[in-house]
Amino acid sequence: MGVKNRYSKMLKRENLRNTSHRQSILEVMEASKEPVSAETLYLTLRDKGISISMSTVYRALDVLVERNIIAKTDFTDNNRSLFEIKREEHRHHLVCVKCKKIIPVTECPFHEYASALEERFGFSITSHKLEMFGYCRKCNKDSDEK
Amino acid sequence: MGVKNRYSKMLKRENLRNTSHRQSILEVMEASKEPVSAETLYLTLRDKGISISMSTVYRALDVLVERNIIAKTDFTDNNRSLFEIKREEHRHHLVCVKCKKIIPVTECPFHEYASALEERFGFSITSHKLEMFGYCRKCNKDSDEK
DNA sequence: CTCCTTAATGGGATTGATTCGCATTTGCAT
DNA sequence: ATGCAAATGCGAATCAATCCCATTAAGGAG
Ligand SMILES: [Zn+2]
Ligand SMILES: [Zn+2]
Ligand SMILES: [Zn+2]
Ligand SMILES: [Zn+2]
């Protein structure tokens, strides 16, 4: 099954119209390794020759977050929200504080820790986010050379 | 050593002037169990009879984050940034998605996982944030009763 | 395929948080 | 006490995000 068809099904399942803009947005997000901002999305689409307005980008992001197809990340690119498509595996991120590169990591070591907390606080955890900040290989090297 | 004196020392160490506004801001943040927004801080201070402007609040928050005395949290209260004072132990949070209650947790299960990633990606991790989302005890109970 | 209903969109105006510019005040070193 | 740079206040400016409303288009019925 093609990617487009998969998106159609997702949208239909959620009772959302299968518009070309939503298709394009999902394609760009699927292709992107890193979380993207609304503006990046907008510019990327325009570069691809797609005419779309910012309102539409924001509205599509909202509804897709609401329907659990994409996620708003909890770290921001100075006060600008970032979004990523939900993949099968959940992810954590290594965020380089210098060059802003974001490396996704799929291992998650938190299950036991989480159940201990659930018990202790009577809290049901439905999701979690872990971000790690520091210096990537390249930025480490650059500062060595100084 | 009194709290005020402790703040003076912190500020002096960072070459920041020991102003009464910075003192007040740090006091409020120290007293607050949960992360606070700039506006909450502003209103709390005014309630205490302290005259201060929003610019000053924002500027103080900026410089204190920069000097590592407080931290900007990675979750927002709809597009409003939240800040908390750095305590001796670092913290994670259980955030109730329903009532917005935030429970701080001081245990951190992170270290081995972190070193494995550092090695694999050549990334130096300097800090990390973990937030868990779900339903607190009270909100769990409320939905049982439905 | 055509018609119809209603969701989706464009684009401009608006909101709301955060930042900036500049005149004034205050901390603090001497 | 004096002088100067840092900090502050207040209003203006900025910038992401949201809202409004007129127009377009998805997709179900026939
Ligand atoms: Zn880097
Ligand atoms: Zn995880
Ligand atoms: Zn709750
Ligand atoms: Zn930790």
Distance CA A52, CA B99 (A): 36
How many angstroms is it from B139 CA to the middle of ligand 2? Answer: 23
Answer for A19: CB within 7 Å of strand D: yes
* Residue B7 DSSP SS3: helix
Q: Is the pLDDT of residue A99 over 80?
A: no
pLDDT top residue among B85 and B74: B85
Q: What is the pLDDT of residue A146?
A: 43
Superfamily (CATH H level) for A89-146: Ferric-uptake regulator, C-terminal dimerisarion domain (3.30.1490.190)
Q: Which residue from B112, B121, B131 is facing A128, i.e. has the nearest CB?
A: B131
How many angstroms is it from B40 CA to the middle of ligand 3? Answer: 20
Distance CA B103, CA B91 (A): 10
Residue B126 host element (H or E): strand B124-135
Average pLDDT on A88-112 reads 79
**Cα of A138 to nearest chain B Cα, Å:** 9
Interface test with B, best of A83, A124, A126, A135 (most B CBs within 10 A): A124
Q: Which fold has domain B1-86?
A: Arc Repressor Mutant, subunit A (1.10.10)
Domain boundaries, chain B: 1-86, 89-146
Chain segment A13-68, per-residue pLDDT in tens = 999 999 999 999 999 999 998 899 999 999 999 999 999 999 999 999 999 999 99
| Percent of chain B predicted with pLDDT > 70 | 94
Residues of A in contact with B114 (CB under 8 A): 132
Q: What is the pLDDT of residue B146?
A: 45
Residue contact B97–A130, C-beta within 8 A: no
The pTM assigned to this predicted structure is: 0.77
Interface test with A, best of B90, B94, B111 (most A CBs within 10 A): B94
A144 at B interface, C-beta within 8 A: no
Chain segment A126-144, per-residue pLDDT in tens = 778 887 888 888 887 776 5
Q: Which residue is associated with the tokens 């003192």?
A: B23
